[in-house]
Amino acid sequence: MKKTKYILILIFAISSFQIFSCTSYLVGKAATTDGSTLISYAGDSHVRYGQLYFKPAGKWAEGTMMTIYDRSSNKPLGQIPQARETYKVIGFMNEHQVSIGESTYGGRSELSDTLGKIDWGSIMFLGLQRAKTAREAIKVIVELLDAHGYYSSGQSYSIADPNEVWILELIGKGMDIKTDRRTKQAYNTRKGAVWVARRVPDNCISAHANHARITNFPMENGTTSISSKNLDKIFEPNIETVYAHDVISFAREMKYFKGTDEEFSFSDTYAPLDFGAARFCELRVWAMFNRAAGGMDKYWDYATGKTKGPRMPLWVKPNRKLSPQDLMTFKGDYLQGTELDMSKDMGAGPQEMPYRWRPMTWKHQNKDYFHERVTATQQTAFSWVSQMRNFMPNPIGGIFWYGLDDANLTVHAPFYCGMTHVPFAYDESNGDILTYSETSAFWTFNRVSHTIYLFYNRLIDDVRKKQNSLSDKFVNYVKASDAAAMAIYKENPEFAIQYLTEFSHNNANAMLAEWKEFGNFLLVKYLDGNVKQEKGGVFLRNEYDFPLNPKNPELPDDFKQIIIEKTGERFSIPKN
């Protein structure tokens, strides 16, 4: 009875749940196949354009200012001092192999700060441009928020370097506006954020998907945990938890929390769980943990929004070593193998398509309903896996595996962080979400995806075959390229950088050309709902060079039954 009541309460909360979209994985170096650290990210947005960002390294004169633009709207938020030196950034990885990803969890809406100058997106790029390690990136981020205020809602960040992987969760403090008597300028006395950062153990994996995941954490003990009052100690290697000194006292002040310090949970306090947070967010974490570690059945009711607990751990030990390609595969998850498999219910249609067009929540006869929110989703602009290797020089050690559009249907190409610029097909100047470009990688992948969406269950085997072929090729090419680059680097680092740039560009461009041709092949093979006969990619003709008749796949039996139930005898052929 209690479970049923909880479900009903949460169902009614769905319509007010703000739906965010990003799924991030974190893997420690002892949990990977080659000793690298890994983090991943999916930029899921209906307005985001897939492009490979590039920010060159720079030296800046003292007093130089930079304007911060909100990544969600492009609104200018104000200016802050530029750093004297900034590092090169390829996508979301810098020249020192530091990588940062995120997911928005929202949290308590009253904690937003409209006067803040640092938004959720600029946090990542400022950290990447100013930090040589994950620990330094955390310090840079929280100090910038204290100095300039935090403009956005609650956020989770994956922050990694070749040695360590961290998860940082933060939220603003809301607003208490005062006016400066001298300047007459309004200012916020609560400027800044409350936050907690935790280091993921080397032999573990973690994930976050639009809900805050840090619950309890060790209080300051001088050995493994410190508060921001001792922030300079973050560089001591034994420190594995760092938190804002007022993260608990502020919660008490706002009357969010009354228990003891040891009972304090960041997630439960600043982002209270509701149905949407579980079913739309935590379920994606459950899916990754279940595929990589197994043994997650006891958390199924929690992750599907049926109960409030037990909550999943922040990290788990995988049952095998993981590669970048494993994380790419996890990005294509749609709960296959579970009772909620998106390709199996009526919403999948006769094409057994694991996608649901938006809106995600909807009404019928004054009742609230929803579609599942799974990891694989059509509105992904880009996804990536960042591979950081401490056993190679930085230009060679960092590989940014980058894919455009739907993570389930893309191919992640390897880009070395040492390269000097990005290919034009991936460049920020080549098209946008409202401007089609024939030469854009984003639009190329979207065109092919839309063909696949038409007849998903018929095309997907061809798609997997092509994806696996390209992925296997990249894995083997990278092994050879690593060896070649290391040999060149020993003799001439500048030539090695040129080699890495050409390798990254040539493979990405060749893959893009092959994907375009693959799209043409799919169009021909599946035109008009037929399936043309082919062998090894060559369409078959008869002895007179005339096309063989195509196959006409039938509807699945369950959809035949639906048609009969809805139409009765209308389409029944009478017996003579």
Judgement on whether residues 446 and 320 belong to the same structural domain of the protein: no
Confidence of residue 179 (pLDDT cuts 50, 70, 90): confident
8 Å CB contact between 506 and 481 = no
Domain membership flag for residue 466: yes
Share of the chain above pLDDT 70, in %: 97
pLDDT at 226 over 80: yes
Residue 208 has phi, psi (to 5 degrees) of -150, 145
Q: How far apart are CA 357 and CA 407, in angstroms?
A: 16
pLDDT tens track for 405-417: 999 999 999 999 9
pLDDT at 398 over 80: yes
Judgement on whether residues 156 and 295 belong to the same structural domain of the protein: yes
Which of 370, 386, 405 lies at the terminal end of a domain, its last residue?
370
Judgement on whether residues 348 and 492 belong to the same structural domain of the protein: no
Domain membership flag for residue 294: yes
Domain membership flag for residue 559: no
Domain membership flag for residue 420: no
8 Å CB contact between 380 and 43 = yes
Confidence of residue 37 (pLDDT cuts 50, 70, 90): very high
Report the pLDDT averaged over residues 137-159.
Answer: 98
- DSSP state for residue 278 in the 8-state scheme: I
Domain membership flag for residue 65: yes
pLDDT at 6 over 80: no
Which of 497, 514, 529 lies at the terminal end of a domain, its last residue?
529
pLDDT at 7 over 80: no
8 Å CB contact between 95 and 57 = yes
Report the pLDDT averaged over residues 56-68.
Answer: 98
pLDDT of residue 20: 52
CA 120, distance to chain mean position in Å, is 14
Report the pLDDT averaged over residues 61-73.
Answer: 97
pLDDT at 4 over 90: no
Name residue 307's amino acid: T
| CA triple 44-48-51, angle to 5 deg | 105
Q: How far apart are CA 20 and CA 443, in angstroms?
A: 23
Interacting residues of 147 by C-beta distance below 8 A, sequence separation 6+: 80
Domain membership flag for residue 14: yes
Domain membership flag for residue 433: no
Judgement on whether residues 355 and 450 belong to the same structural domain of the protein: no
pLDDT tens track for 419-456: 999 999 999 999 999 999 999 999 999 999 999 999 99
Judgement on whether residues 357 and 449 belong to the same structural domain of the protein: no
Q: Which residues pair with 102 in a beta bridge?
A: 157
CA torsion through residues 495, 479, 382, 90, sign: negative
Share of the chain above pLDDT 90, in %: 92
What pTM was computed for the model?
A: 0.94
pLDDT tens track for 283-311: 999 999 999 999 999 999 999 999 998 99
Which of 347, 370, 393 lies at the terminal end of a domain, its last residue?
370
- The answer to whether the bond into 310 is cis (omega within 30° of 0) is yes
DSSP string, 388-435: E-TTS-HHHH-EEEEEES-TTT---EEEETT-SS--GGG-TTS-BTTB
Residue 437 has phi, psi (to 5 degrees) of -135, 125
Judgement on whether residues 183 and 274 belong to the same structural domain of the protein: yes
Interacting residues of 528 by C-beta distance below 8 A, sequence separation 6+: none
Judgement on whether residues 99 and 217 belong to the same structural domain of the protein: yes
Domain count, the chain: 2
8 Å CB contact between 413 and 508 = yes
pLDDT tens track for 344-384: 999 999 999 999 999 999 999 999 999 999 999 999 999 99
Helices (H) and strands (E) in the chain, counts: 14, 26
| CA triple 543-547-549, angle to 5 deg | 110
Here the tokens at position 250 are 């502020």
Domain membership flag for residue 407: no
Question: Where in the sequence is the domain holding 486, given as residue range(s)?
Answer: 442-529
Judgement on whether residues 306 and 447 belong to the same structural domain of the protein: no
